[in-house]
Amino acid sequence: MVTGIFLFSVGISILALSVWFRFAKTVLTAAIAQKVLGLALLFMGGSSFFLGLPFEQQVQYLLFDLLLIGLSGVIGALFAARPKILSSLVSGLILLLFPLHRNLLWPSYAPSGLDPSGELLLSVSNGKLSPSIQKVLDKWDVRAIPAFSVASPDITNLDDYWVLDVPDRQASNMERIIAAVTGQAGVVWLEPNEILTLDHQVAPLRNRNAPSLVNDPGVAHLWGFDLMEMEKFYQLLESGEVQVRQKALIAILDSGVDADHEDISDNYMSTKAAYDKDPLGHGTHCAGIAGAVSNNGKGIASFSLDNEFVQITSIKVLGANGSGTQKGIIAGIIEAADRGAAVISMSLGGRSTQSRQQAYQDAVKYASQKGAVVVAAAGNSGQNAKDYAPVNTPGVIGVAALDTLGRKAGFSNTVQDIRMAVAAPGVQIYSTIPGNQYASFNGTSMATPHVAGVIGLLKSMNPNLNTQEVFELIHQTGAEVADGDLTGRVMVPYRAVQALLENKVMVPPASE
């Protein structure tokens, strides 16, 4: 209803302005057209606030329509002296254009951008659908399914979420359904359940000739170890100063992990058998970076000498084609937190259509309350990461990628507007892939598990560290890089560990 009023008001505004300019010399007609225009603009502005859409897109919608209305006035003035048939034809064409802005501005609401088995995520008071909400759902034949199950419902409202499955025949009414549901009593939040896809590139090997304290042959391809001063890190571990208080579990939320890989299996804990295979290879590559078995004479090394600090597990949230849904990723965060993960590593994401995504925020908050630190890739589009989820979620540590020269990788999103962000190597990164094989990939996906691995070690030393404390350890001890204003500082593991041992890092007070 509200959407109809809005669109009708836009159309009447265009028509009224065209008539006003076309018949400017006819006093009575022009006066009527002016009054109709004023009323139509009033209705347009008022109804826009009840469309149930994010504020930023609401403003885009209004600006586009006002521009279109103004254009109709200009054309009306230009054609005022033309034959009536020509000027009417031009005004009519403009009138026909205005509905197209839904596709121009909000392509995310098209069915192809949403999970076809559940296009929307709805949060309601006390987790119960009110009669008015159910009435709206019944009108459009929308099916509501409980979205999330949590082990600790007393600390979260995640169990108040529902997935709304809109039938294909109602897909063209998506905006009307969103507006109708949003206006009902008991609705806390409504957002699209978007589909996200992976984006990484196979890359050539890069060699290094530096000596190493670990005997894994693949270290010869780990150029990032030089950037992160890993030999100093291994020397610190060898000194015996670093003690494990509790082995930290790092959950890789991805396409699965090859649990039988020769360089992973001894450092892997199975969560579910279904998660222990990786048809894509992406999750296995990330798992090796974060926690490959070091000093076993095979493959690569990670952030340990004796593998006593961390353990890897897999939470499969992506399919064999590398795609997943917002709901599935949030469910993965919940599952990882409920299984005791100290670190949740997400080398995934996509452009966000929302200025705020409440479900991600609730999930990250839940994980933090359960003791987990959430790390996410900045994204590979060369854009500002503030427009990409889940890295833009408050409480997440974002990771940008550096190239072999220590500069921002050309593909890496920038993190200047992400509250907690660091940088790590993300170009020509050599790691494990299924079938006891190894390969080199590019991507912020590869930078992220570097950070997750070090955070896991820090959490094994002090399990009580929270996200802000971990970030300050890595940030304050990080090294400045050429593009640091866009990437953040590069992580230097030995400095972070030394600072924790000496209790040197100051954590600023939490901001409101």
- Residues serving a catalytic function are 254, 282, 445
Alpha-carbon separation of residue 341 from 200, 251, 310 (angstroms): 25, 6, 10
Omega into 390 within 30° of 0, i.e. cis? yes
User: What's the CA angle centered on 240, arms 235 and 243, to 5 degrees?
Assistant: 115
445 touches 379 (CB < 8 A): no
d(CA 382, CA 402): 12
* Residue owning tokens 């009536």: 84
280 touches 348 (CB < 8 A): no
Burial grade of 183 (CB within 10 A; 0-12, 13-18, 19 or more)? middle
Residue 146: phi and psi, rounded to 5, are -55, 135
Burial grade of 508 (CB within 10 A; 0-12, 13-18, 19 or more)? exposed
d(CA 182, CA 189): 7
End-to-end CA distance of the chain: 38
